[in-house]
């Protein structure tokens, strides 16, 4: 019985180590999480410039697919009161939100009353860490703010 238990523990450890992302799978300055590498950029730019900057390093603005991923992205933001662009946008059809990386937009963390195109102004780009609730807001794409890029591990 002890031999079987040791064999199972060994198998568990081998598979755990092989499936866990390693720091070296991400470029310097990027943080692994799940199957992607992430980088918070504190330089404030508009949404289109942020997406182009991410694309220039084979990435996109981050998409958010779960509460766990959302909380991870919030942990990257410095200072923690800063809002940041991510890859959500509804520029093609108002109210039809898409991720710039093409992944399915099936998780949301909108603040109460959002998205709202505040005072009738088009707000077609998504920012996270809005207000004290750290939720999502639709913002004017021309506004300058920090952003978060994401790319597949090993890219």
**CATH number of domain containing 116:** 3.10.100.10
Whether 73 contacts 63, CB under 8 Å: no
Question: CA–CA separation, 90 vs 155, rounded Å?
Answer: 27
pLDDT tens-digit profile, the chain (155 residues): 433 333 333 333 333 334 444 556 999 999 999 999 999 999 999 999 999 999 999 999 999 999 999 999 999 999 999 999 999 999 889 999 999 999 999 999 999 999 999 988 999 999 999 999 999 999 999 999 999 999 999 87
User: What is the rounded CA–CA span in Å between residue 46 and residue 141?
Assistant: 6
H or E, element range at 116: none
In terms of residue numbers, what domain contains 6? Answer: 2-152
Specify whether the CB–CB gap between 153 and 106 falls below 8 A: no
Query: Can you give the pTM of this predicted structure?
Result: 0.84
Cα 31 from Cα 53, distance rounded (Å): 17
**For residue 23, what pLDDT is reported?**
54
Per-residue confidence (pLDDT) for residue 91, from 0 to 100: 87
The reported pLDDT for the residue numbered 22 is 54
Answer for the pair 121, 147: CB distance below 8 angstroms, yes or no: no
| pLDDT score, position 10 | 32
CB atoms within 10 A of CB 31: 15
The candidate with the shortest Cα–Cα distance to 100, out of 129, 70, 59, 140, is 59
Q: How many domains, in total, are found in the chain?
A: 1
Output the pLDDT for position 155. Answer: 74
């Amino acid at each position: 019985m002890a031999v079987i238990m040791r064999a199972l523990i060994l198998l568990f450890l081998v598979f755990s180590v092989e499936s866990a992302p390693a720091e070296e799978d991400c470029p310097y300055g990027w943080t692994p999480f799940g199957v992607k590498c992430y980088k918070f950029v504190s330089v404030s730019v508009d949404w289109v410039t942020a997406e182009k900057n991410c694309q220039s390093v084979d990435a996109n603005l981050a998409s958010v697919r779960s509460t766990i991923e959302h909380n991870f992205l919030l942990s990257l933001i410095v200072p923690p009161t800063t809002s940041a662009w991510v890859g959500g946008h509804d520029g093609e059809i108002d109210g039809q939100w898409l991720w710039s990386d093409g992944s399915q937009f099936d998780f949301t963390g909108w603040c109460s009353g959002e998205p709202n195109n505040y005072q009738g102004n088009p707000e077609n780009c998504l920012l996270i860490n809005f207000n004290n609730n750290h939720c999502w807001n639709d913002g004017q794409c021309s506004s300058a703010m920090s952003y978060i890029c994401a790319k597949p591990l090993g890219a």
